[in-house]
Amino acid sequence: MNRHIGVLDSGIGGLTVVKELQRQLPGEDIVYFGDNRNCPYGNRSEEEILSLTMDMLEFMKSEGVKIVAIACNTISTLIDSYKDKYDFPIIDIIRPTVDHIINMNTYNIAIIATEFTIKTGAYEKQLLKKNSDINIINEGSKLLAGLVDAGKFDDSQTKEVIETHINNMSAKGDLYNLVLGCTHFPIVEDVFLSLAPELNIINPAFQQAKAIRQYLHKENLLNDKEQGSLDIYTSGDTEVYSKVIERLNLKNIKGITTHNVNKAAI
Ligand code: DGL
């Protein structure tokens, strides 16, 4: 039986993972949940993030998914707290990206992510464990995920915020390889590149989609159809979704539905 891949994020950012899944696994049906009403998660406490995440995972369970992609770096930093609570596999976005960076054999890497992700040191700890010689520039952003989630892709404020981050990172060291460690950020990758065309951008969405593809292939769980579909659910406004769908050129949308999954108000 063909079952869905579940993808969840605090908002629209996880659609960058959906884009990669549609490219690498065109026959897969995807159910997406974006918690736009409670976004940004990156400025919240660990308890709040976990509680909101469990509500989304319960929704994925009710959809009968075969696997879930945690298409959010912030939520992925807490993977050990929830990954064994369900009978479907849950794949985070950080581990496959760390493996990729290690395979790059580089000694310089910069990571821009939410303040929460940076504070947990999730990327830094995993990278240093595998290569203690690697130089890491960390940059936390308080504003960028919220601006992107509000659909302000080409606004002057978004450009100014990105410019400040690029300047901060350049002041900290040799800025060349840059991980967009928040799934919202690849939506404005063009703004990063317009300000610093020399950057080698690493998009974790590609690595996560690859990890999902490898898992489904290994477990013989791939769909047997040629063209999959995309069902989108959000706890917030559906309007911004139309903008991202166009920007990312997502395909075969079955619907965009407003749906609240929270048991308690946060
Ligand atoms: N998209 C999320 C991430 O990858 C963060 C956005 C937020 O702060 O809610 O970290």
What average pLDDT does range 160-174 have in this prediction? Answer: 97
- Ligand 1 binding pocket includes 206 (Cβ within 6 Å): no
Annotation says 72 is catalytic: yes
What average pLDDT does range 179-207 have in this prediction? Answer: 98
Strand order of the β-sheet with 67-70 is 90-91, 67-70, 5-9, 30-34, 230-234, 253-258
Identify whether the C-beta of residue 234 lies closer than 8 Å to the C-beta of residue 241. Answer: yes
Report yes or no on 74 lying in a domain: yes
Kind and range of the H or E run holding 9: strand 5-9
Count of structural domains, the chain: 2
The span from the CA of 162 to the CA of 236, in Å, is: 25
Domain CATH code at residue 83: 3.40.50.1860
Catalytic residue among 91, 166, 175, 182: 182
Is residue 1 over pLDDT 80? no
Report yes or no on 50 lying in a domain: yes
The fraction of the chain above a pLDDT of 90, given in percent, is 97
Annotation says 182 is catalytic: yes
Are residues 86 and 16 part of one domain? yes
The torsion of the CA quartet 185, 247, 201, 13, rounded to 10 degrees, works out to: 30
- At 266, is the pLDDT very low, low, confident or very high (cuts 50, 70, 90)? low
Are residues 194 and 68 part of one domain? no
- Ligand 1 binding pocket includes 207 (Cβ within 6 Å): no
Is residue 236 over pLDDT 90? yes
The span from the CA of 229 to the CA of 244, in Å, is: 17
C-alpha 187 – ligand 1 centre gap (Å): 12
221: region left, alpha or beta (phi > 0 left; psi from -120 to 50 alpha): alpha
pTM of the model: 0.96
Q: Average pLDDT, whole number, for the chain?
A: 96
Identify whether the C-beta of residue 247 lies closer than 8 Å to the C-beta of residue 187. Answer: yes
Looking from the CA of 102 toward its CB, the CA atoms found within 13 Å total 16
The span from the CA of 72 to the CA of 210, in Å, is: 16
- Ligand 1 binding pocket includes 141 (Cβ within 6 Å): no
- Testing ligand 1's pocket by substitution, the residue of 12, 19, 50, 73 carrying the most ligand atoms inside 8 A of its CB is 73
- Ligand 1 binding pocket includes 16 (Cβ within 6 Å): no
Is residue 185 over pLDDT 80? yes
Identify whether the C-beta of residue 78 lies closer than 8 Å to the C-beta of residue 44. Answer: no
41-79 burial string, b = 16+ CB within 10 Å, else e? bbebeeeebebbbbbbbebbeeeebbbbbbbbbbbbbbb
What average pLDDT does range 90-118 have in this prediction? Answer: 97
- Ligand 1 binding pocket includes 75 (Cβ within 6 Å): no
Q: Which domain holds residue 144?
A: 94-204
Are residues 176 and 111 part of one domain? yes
Report yes or no on 142 lying in a domain: yes
The span from the CA of 88 to the CA of 86, in Å, is: 5
Report yes or no on 250 lying in a domain: yes
The span from the CA of 3 to the CA of 5, in Å, is: 7
The span from the CA of 187 to the CA of 148, in Å, is: 8
What average pLDDT does range 219-237 have in this prediction? Answer: 96
Are residues 10 and 139 part of one domain? no
C-alpha 77 – ligand 1 centre gap (Å): 11
What average pLDDT does range 173-184 have in this prediction? Answer: 97
- Ligand 1 binding pocket includes 145 (Cβ within 6 Å): yes
Are residues 230 and 192 part of one domain? no
Nearest residue CA, atom 7 of ligand 1?
40
Report yes or no on 265 lying in a domain: no
